[in-house]
Amino acid sequence: MSKPFRFGVQAFKPESGTEWTETSRKAEDLGYSTLHVADHYFGPGAALTAASHPIQTVAAIPAMAAAAAVTSTIKIGSRVMCCDYHQPMVLMKSLATIDLLSDGRLEAGFGAGWIHSEYDAMGIAWERAGKRIAKMTEYVEFARDFFAGGDLDYSGEYVNVTDTAATPVCPQEGGPKIMIGGGAPKVLGIAGRLADVVSINFDNSAGKIGAKGIGSGTAEGTADKVQWVKDGAGDRFDDIEIEIAAYFTTVTANADQTEKTLGAMAGAFGMEPGMMAAHPHTLIGEVDQIVETLQERRDSYGISYVTVGDTVIDDFAPVVAALDGK
């Protein structure tokens, strides 16, 4: 049985407290289930240029707390917290505090880190992928312990916490949902084993956004990624939500605009228009067409949770209204 649709909106660069409050409340009022931020710290400069990544103007933890303070029902999350950037005990207490103060609206996301130039800019050692994934795995296991409450006794290579109890106690029964994001076999297999929500992303092993990563997100590539999640999940796959970011979203007014927009986007990435249209990170079309596409992708891949950027928050709202919870 298909899971009901949920929709998130992700914001990268609020320029003021007033703007962030307005975005947070608008996402809630328009029926989005989750407001996401990203966990990045570099500003304009050579490191950002090398990554080909949009700037994130605000730090994730305080931005999440501020959004929670001005809303009442929408979930608050991060796609995703980079474990290398945070001390584990401090991170879990910060996340649990957001869950407490929001009356149980945290959605906790974790990732292994992937932007090489950001690590360099921040003076953080860039370990091989296996070590970064191992650290993320320990963080997720420890998050489960912390969110469950009680005494903490975790001993690992990267996380070591003893002789203390977890506070505050998370108000969500069983703790907040945990999202793990990634685009390569190992991390998606672990996500299948440990996560409540698996965020299917590009294969960003190149350490930056580029043709290789975007090319890994084709219809065939996404089918492979879902299979890696299944392989890791085993019998628990049906309990997992599959999430994806529709990075390339344009809601059009008519068929001519759809064709032109799709052709321009396909040309920018060196793809045929048909391949771009089928790319699961792409939603280009009129509202009814996008609704149909999302239903087809849920049938094909099990994707029921879709996140779009805040630049299309208004245009995409009719899709949310048509499908959310259905």
Does residue 133 sit within a domain? yes
Mean pLDDT, the chain, integer: 97
Residue 5: the pLDDT is 98
How sure is the predictor about 211, in pLDDT bands with cuts at 50, 70 and 90?
confident
Does residue 306 sit within a domain? yes
Neighbours of 89 (CB within 10 A): 17
Residue 4: the pLDDT is 98
Report the C-alpha gap between 185 and 124 in whole angstroms: 25
The rounded percent of the chain whose pLDDT value lies above 90 is 98
Q: Which tens digits make up the pLDDT trace of 213-230?
A: 999 999 999 999 999 999
If we measure between CA atoms, which residue out of 277, 270, 279 comes closest to residue 252? 277
Q: Which tens digits make up the pLDDT trace of 4-35?
A: 999 999 999 999 999 999 999 999 999 999 99
Does residue 83 sit within a domain? yes
Does residue 244 sit within a domain? yes
Report the C-alpha gap between 89 and 139 in whole angstroms: 9
Tokens of 188: 């998606």
Q: Is the pLDDT of residue 172 over 90?
A: yes
Q: Domain range for residue 187?
A: 6-323
Does residue 1 sit within a domain? no
Q: Which tens digits make up the pLDDT trace of 108-124?
A: 999 999 999 999 999 99
What is the CATH number for 10?
A: 3.20.20.30
Strands 75-78 and 34-37: parallel
Name the domain count of the chain.
Answer: 1
- Residue 139's SS3 state is helix
Q: Is the pLDDT of residue 151 over 90?
A: yes
How sure is the predictor about 136, in pLDDT bands with cuts at 50, 70 and 90?
very high
Residue 1: the pLDDT is 78
Report the C-alpha gap between 326 and 321 in whole angstroms: 10
Report the C-alpha gap between 25 and 131 in whole angstroms: 39
Q: Cβ neighbours of residue 318 under 8 Å, at least 6 residues apart? A: 251, 287
User: What's the average model confidence in pLDDT over 28-44?
Assistant: 97
DSSP strands (E only) in the chain: 6-10, 34-37, 75-78, 81-82, 106-111, 150-155, 160-166, 177-182, 197-200, 241-245, 248-251, 282-285, 303-309
Does residue 178 sit within a domain? yes
Q: Is the pLDDT of residue 125 over 90?
A: yes
